[in-house]
Amino acid sequence: MAIADVSHHSIHSLISLSGRHALVTGGARGIGRAIAARFAEAGADVVLADVRLAEAETAATEIAARFGRRVVAIEADVTHPDTVAALVDRAEERLGPLDIWVNNAGIYPSRPLIEIPVDEWDRVMDLNVRGVFLCTREIGRRWVAAGRGGVLINIGSTGAFKTGPGVAHYITSKHAVVGLTKTAAVELGPHGIRVLGVAPSMTQTEGRRDFLASVNAPGMDEFVAEMEQRTPLGRIGVPDDVARVVLFCASDLSMLMTGSTLLVDSGEGVL
């Protein structure tokens, strides 16, 4: 199924998600919540899927009130295939057929490589890789069967293009997500399904604050300040910096793009 040529469409119509239904995993807070808000602002109805149901319900209520769209919260652990299938069923019962899927759920523990317990390694791979695979497979199957196309966006990390100490499992998982994004784009493209990645660098989220508190590393504030000073754009990201790029990927503005992973990194990658 060939992707449409939208050259004759207005900018307003190209960025609009009016009439579309989107799902964001890990949508209760941080980057996921910011993505959901921008989608709703652009006219989409949105599902926030998260293991933190109470937080997701609060976020859904606030976003719906702000933008006048249908926004619902569904509890889901995306590491289990039956749960993922049930998530799609429930989402489509609430909103209708999905057009956009964002794999955002992930974790970011820190530990030296030789000290990583096997269960911690497995937990990172389960959510950051297995969860992305299961969601991609499930929604991909349904979109192929329906013959109506779709857009799938994987939230990766600049860690997929570099490395660093203390996060071997996280770095490995994000390299895998880039590979899965490319492969899914090749296999699903003939069915009119676009697959893109968005890779943020350090972003000020609740998860990031929890991580910094958990490692309790001296000088971490100084590290963040130093990183901001040495990036070309002079600051680290906030969730909406990432959400705006995801909106671009989900919209018809990026109609002829698939398989790419876009960096949102304040220029860190050129250093």
Catalytic positions are 157, 170, 174
CA atoms within 13 A on the CB side of 256: 4
Handedness of CA 136, 155, 242, 239 (dihedral sign): positive
In angstroms and rounded to an integer, the radius of gyration of the C-alpha atoms of the chain is 18
How many of the other CB atoms lie within 10 Å of CB of 61? Answer: 13
Give the three-class secondary structure for 149.
coil
Instruction: For residue 230, give every residue at least 6 positions away whose Cβ sits within 8 Å of its Cβ, in sequence order, or none.
Output: 271
Contact 98, 84 (CB under 8 A): no
Burial label for 6, CB within 10 Å (0-12, 13-18, 19+), is: middle
Contact 172, 225 (CB under 8 A): no
Burial label for 84, CB within 10 Å (0-12, 13-18, 19+), is: buried
